[in-house]
Amino acid sequence: MSAPVDWQSGFLAASALLGEPLDVAREAIAGRETAGARELVRELSSPDKASRARVVARVAAEMMAALDEAGAA
Residues 4-49 pLDDT 10s: 789 999 999 999 999 999 999 999 999 999 999 999 999 999 999 9
Residue 1 belongs to a domain: no
CA distance 69 to 36: 21
Range of the domain at 43: 7-72
Q: In terms of pLDDT, which residue wins out, 3 or 21? A: 21
CA distances from 24 to 7, 29, 46 (A): 16, 9, 16
The residues, ordered by sequence, that sit 6+ positions from 9 with a Cβ below 8 Å of its Cβ are 34, 36, 37, 40, 59
41 part of a folded domain: yes
* 2 domain residue, yes or no: no
* pTM for this model (two decimals): 0.84
67 assigned to some structural domain: yes
**Domain tally for the chain?**
1
Whether 62 is in a domain gets the answer yes
